[in-house]
Amino acid sequence: DIQMTQSPSTLSASVGDRVTITCRASQSVSSWLAWYQQKSGKAPKLLIYKASSLESGVPSRFSGSGSGTEFTLTISSLQPDDFATYYCQQYNTYWTFGQGTKVEIK
Amino acid sequence: QVQLVESGGGVVQPGRSLRLSCAASGFTFSSYALHWVRQAPGKGLEWLAVISYDGSNKYYADSVKGRFTISRDNSKNTLYLQMNSLRAEDTAVYYCARDLARCTSPACPFDHWGQGTLVTVSS
């Protein structure tokens, strides 16, 4: 099974900050990597797929990069609506999620 | 617009069964693979099962293989999850989710999710 590990688990940041979340796979997943945002009590929302492709309707301040085993999600300028938990997901071999990164207000 | 609405959750005793449903609308149901994903209270997301667009292929996570069965009725635009031999650790919010539209990769991420239905396994 492919394991996905995110870091950090929690991130404290301020509005306007540049934020980067890392996701590492236990083996190569090529570019088959997605990022989701989840707010409390709500379903996850797809942000990025194929490592760097922005889903329709998602603000351009979100970007993704990486391939193989190491990936990053970057929020260029954190907005109040961005405080949430973020998950990576590999879909190279079945589907596996990372444990999540909570972005909280500093 | 695309809608996925789960139902069937509730409180059930350990060892008993429950069937979840996911009613879909706003898209051509029979053209998409569909998934079940769960989230235990305060925990992360766990993929459980997938069914192909026509129901001919099904795959499961090891944690539910042999206990849970995914199925679909394309005439009713409805996805199901039959859960047997339930355990306390199956307590979670259960989501149905759809494959990303226009996805051309062998497997796909999920572009639409339901609101979730809570299953509590407790005596």
Q: With CA atoms as reference, report the closest residue to B67 among B81, B53, B51, B88.
A: B81
Per-residue pLDDT of B32-80, as tens digits, reads 999 999 999 999 999 999 999 999 999 999 999 999 999 999 999 999 9
**Which residue of B lies nearest to A31 if distances are taken between CA atoms?**
B105
Is residue A89 within a helix (H) or strand (E), and if so which, with residue range? strand A85-90
Per-residue pLDDT of A5-38, as tens digits, reads 999 999 999 999 999 999 999 999 999 999 999 9
Per-residue pLDDT of A48-70, as tens digits, reads 999 999 999 999 999 999 999 99
Task: Give the rounded distance of the alpha carbon of A77 from its chain centre.
Answer: 15
**Residue carrying structure tokens 């099962």:** B49
B67 dihedral zone (left: phi>0; alpha: psi -120 to 50; beta): alpha
Position B115 pLDDT exceeds 90:
yes
pLDDT for the residue B4: 98
Q: With CA atoms as reference, report the closest residue to A67 among A17, A93, A23, A30.
A: A30
pLDDT for the residue B102: 83
Q: Which of A4, A46, A95, A99 to mutate to test the interface with B (most CBs of B within 10 A)?
A: A95
DSSP letter string over B51-116? E-TTSS-EEE-TTTTTTEEEEEETTTTEEEEEE-S--GGG-EEEEEEEEPTT--SSS--EEEE---
State the smallest CA–CA distance between residue B3 and chain A in angstroms.
12
On the CB side of B14, how many CA atoms lie within 13 Å of its CA? 5
| CB neighbour list of residue A63: distance below 8 Å, 6 or more residues apart | A48, A52, A54, A73, A74, A76
State the smallest CA–CA distance between residue A9 and chain B in angstroms.
11
Cβ contacts below 8 Å, chain A against chain B, sum to 55
Using CB atoms, pick whichever of A38, A46, A100 lies closest to residue B109.
A46
CA of A17: how far to CAs of A23, A36, A83, B75, in Å? 20, 19, 12, 49
Contact A104, A9 (CB under 8 A): no
Tell me the chain A residues in contact with residue B116 when contact means C-beta distances shorter than 8 Å.
43
